[in-house]
Structure 1
Amino acid sequence: MARKEFDVFEAVSAVVPGEGGYSAAIAVKALGAGGAPRFHKVLPGQVFKTALEADDAAVVELQRLNGVSDDAELIW
């Protein structure tokens, strides 16, 4: 798992379980806020056999992330 901070949001590499495996994702949440994060699947169409493989892929995508918009959308 990797984490990246922006002005008012934090983004974390994540995994979403699904049929046949796991999807790589980035979870976004306001800094210092409670509640559930918003998950964004990355690498559409790719399914990984293990959660570790999916998280490793999400870490690479998180490194490419340029920011998070005011409405918690990913900015590439």
Structure 2
Amino acid sequence: MARKEFESFEAVSAVVPGEGGYSAAIAVKGLGAGGAPHFHKVLDGQTFKTALDADEAASAELARLTGVSDAGELLW
């Protein structure tokens, strides 16, 4: 799991299980905020056989992330 901090949000690599494998995702949550994060699937259409493969792909996408909007959306 990789983590990146922005002005008002933190983002972490994540995995979403699904039919036939796992999807890479980035979870976003307000800094210091309670509650559940919002998951954004990345690499649409790609499914990974293992959670480790999906997390590695999500970590690579997280490295490319330039920010998070005030509404919690990913900025590339």
Question: Normalised by the shorter chain, which TM-score bucket?
Answer: over 0.9
Any stretches of 5+ residues in structure 2 without a counterpart?
Answer: none
Q: Distance in 1 between matches of 2:64 and 2:44?
A: 16
Aligned to 2:71: 71
Deviation, 1:49, is: 0.3
Deviations 1:17-52 (A, max 9, x none): 000000000000000010000000000000000000
Aligned to 1:38: 38
Aligned to 1:55: 55
TM-score normalised to the size of structure 2?
0.99
TM-score normalised to the size of structure 1?
0.99
Any stretches of 5+ residues in structure 1 without a counterpart?
Answer: none
Deviation, 1:60, is: 0.2
Deviation, 1:2, is: 0.3
User: Identity of aligned pairs, percent?
Assistant: 80
